[in-house]
Amino acid sequence: MNIRLLIAFLGIMIILSSCTPERTLSTTPSVTPELKPQMEATNTIPSVPSPVGDDTPSASFDIETMLEMLLSEEPEERDSALNQILASKDPRFIAVLIELMRAAQIGLVPLTDYPPVVEALEGLSGQSFDRDWPAWIEWYGASELAAPKGFTSWKGRLLSGIDPRFAGFLKDEYPSRIRVEEIQWGGVMVDGIPALSNPEMIPADEAVYLDLGEPVFGISLNGDARAYPLRIMDWHEMANDVVGGVPVSLAYCTLCGAGIAFDGRAPDGNTYTFGSSGFLFRSNKLMYDRETGSLWNQLTGEPVLGDLAAYDLRLALLPLVLTSWSDWLAQHPDTQVLSLDTGYERPYELGAAYGDYFSYEATMFPVWQRSDDLPAKSRVYALYLDGVPKAYALDRLVEDQVVNDTLGETPIVLVAQHGTVEVEGYNQRAGVVAYDSGGEVRVFDRGEHSFSPGQQPGTLLDEQGNSWQVSEEELIGPDGETAARVSGHLAYWFGWFAFFPNTLIFK
């Protein structure tokens, strides 16, 4: 399958997404080998026209008028606007033309506009990517080009043809911490992937639907242990819950492989709950808070577009592990578990939602900022301490079991004594699939100690041979000595690097 066929299929799925809330793109086959060269990003930055600032007027036309003409129902007006834009040689309109090309591919504007838009885009940019949307996105992302004034609201109006609520997220008057040109439609409506809000939990002995070896997210706060099976979370990607009296938002980006537990109590004194906006940024989920409608980066827990983006907010991470149901149950026999009675009809089976994507090495959306230091979809445990990001390859952690390190000014120990969680499931598009979901990693502030594996999982030995017990909140040593938990999360390597290109890598 080539990229044009894939995107044409997405245009058809716009209609279906109003009936089926799961991610539209998840109903397509995983990226095939023929698509892979188009989806792979480059680390080189090609030559681009010099950017023109928003305060630089175009010589022959009014920008706002041109933007409106491009959305006109009259083909003559659209053609006239394209001709004037091309004649102006104004590189700010490159972003506009890329959006129009994409809109034509998914059926938002007439297909008759498609060839002229591509021709104008190539003429204005000097590039020859034809209709290869991922190539255009990656080239633009690596450039320093700027969009014209009014672009954000114009893009919102354009995408409102998919869902009118999109226009509410994209407005020129909103402060922004990200490049709006890089925001992409992720294949679903607003809340098309529905968040679970205070979902029903059941005792462990009633969770007969679970296989012992399957993956779950586990969290325990103030003695309240809860398990969120991935066979359910793959379909919802967000859970707003209260665990041990703490408001928790479990934000799961299936595309970048990151499940993160945030404390919903923000530094501004407010508590936020979240849903899925339907937008992506560098293949990362943009969630939105239900209180203000601001867009947030799922990987960093920061508002990036909307009223809250004007403030220096960052949600605190809570300790979360991805582990097997059997291991979590052994450690927390009193745990509660998500019920299958979520209020939604989904095939809650292993691999059903994204098994094809998880089992294949390619990514689904273009990401321009990449590194070949690790395979794109290799799993890493990501930490951000004292302003320093660092990635630890999961297979290395599992091999070593216990790793002593120092990040920033914090001495830490990473514990990964339970291996990885291997999944065999069935996907309606790819059939039988097999993949690893990650592994159980916990990190602690080790102080002046140095640790090695104990005689059994869940125990460590310090430099003097004393035994320490691993718990969710801390390491528990002799004479009541403890070492506090440090929160991080798993991610695909490409997903972490896209936002932390200066990350360190544990060797």
- Tens-place pLDDT, residues 50-67: 333 444 444 456 899 999
Give the highest mean pLDDT range of 7-21, 23-37, 429-443: 429-443
Helix H or strand E encompassing 168: helix 166-169
pLDDT given for residue 60 in this prediction: 52
Q: Name the nearest CA neighbour of 242 among 346, 336, 348.
A: 336
Determine which of 61-75, 208-222, 434-448 has the lowest per-residue pLDDT on average. 61-75
Q: How far apart are CA 176 and CA 129, in angstroms?
A: 29
Task: Decide the pairing of beta strands 196-197 and 246-253.
Answer: unpaired
Confidence check: pLDDT of 451 > 90: yes
Task: Decide the pairing of beta strands 388-393 and 504-505.
Answer: parallel
pLDDT given for residue 46 in this prediction: 32
At 87, list the tokens: 């004649």
Helix H or strand E encompassing 119: helix 114-125
**Please, which pLDDT band fits residue 358 given cuts at 50, 70 and 90?**
very high
Provide mean pLDDT across the span 103-119. 91
Q: Name the nearest CA neighbour of 485 among 497, 467, 472, 494.
A: 472
% of the chain at pLDDT higher than 70 = 88
The full length of the chain comes to 507
pLDDT given for residue 430 in this prediction: 94
pLDDT given for residue 22 in this prediction: 41
pLDDT given for residue 61 in this prediction: 67
Confidence check: pLDDT of 178 > 60: yes
Q: How far apart are CA 82 and CA 78, in angstroms?
A: 6
Reduced to 3 states, what is the DSSP secondary structure of residue 451? coil
CB atoms within 10 A of CB 278: 26
Confidence check: pLDDT of 44 > 80: no
Q: Name the nearest CA neighbour of 344 among 507, 232, 467.
A: 232
**Please, which pLDDT band fits residue 23 given cuts at 50, 70 and 90?**
very low
Confidence check: pLDDT of 31 > 60: no
**Please, which pLDDT band fits residue 375 given cuts at 50, 70 and 90?**
very high
Give burial (CB, 10 Å; 0-12/13-18/19+) of 433: buried
Backbone conformation region of residue 200, classed left if phi is above 0, alpha if psi is from -120 to 50, else beta: beta
pLDDT given for residue 33 in this prediction: 25
More confident: 247 or 21: 247
Query: pLDDT tens-digit profile of 250-291?
Result: 999 999 999 999 999 999 999 999 999 999 999 999 999 999
Helix H or strand E encompassing 312: none
pLDDT given for residue 17 in this prediction: 36
Reduced to 3 states, what is the DSSP secondary structure of residue 4? helix
The DSSP string of 210-250 is --TTSEEEEEEETTEEEEEEHHHHHHH-EEEEEETTEEEEE
Confidence check: pLDDT of 116 > 80: yes
Contact by Cβ (8 Å): 391, 385: no
Confidence check: pLDDT of 39 > 90: no
Model-level pTM? 0.89
* Mean residue pLDDT across the chain: 89
pLDDT given for residue 3 in this prediction: 32
Task: Decide the pairing of beta strands 410-415 and 402-407.
Answer: antiparallel
pLDDT given for residue 112 in this prediction: 85
Query: pLDDT tens-digit profile of 291-337?
Result: 999 999 999 999 999 999 999 999 999 999 999 999 999 999 999 99
Query: pLDDT tens-digit profile of 66-88?
Result: 999 999 999 999 999 999 999 99
Domain ranges of the chain: 3-175, 355-505
Q: Name the nearest CA neighbour of 225 among 338, 334, 68.
A: 334
CB atoms within 10 A of CB 448: 7
Give burial (CB, 10 Å; 0-12/13-18/19+) of 158: buried
Sign of CA dihedral 188, 355, 249, 197: positive
pLDDT given for residue 111 in this prediction: 84
Q: How far apart are CA 218 and CA 263, in angstroms?
A: 15
pLDDT given for residue 38 in this prediction: 29
pLDDT given for residue 279 in this prediction: 98
Q: Where are the alpha helices (DSSP H) in 250-393?
A: 325-331, 355-358
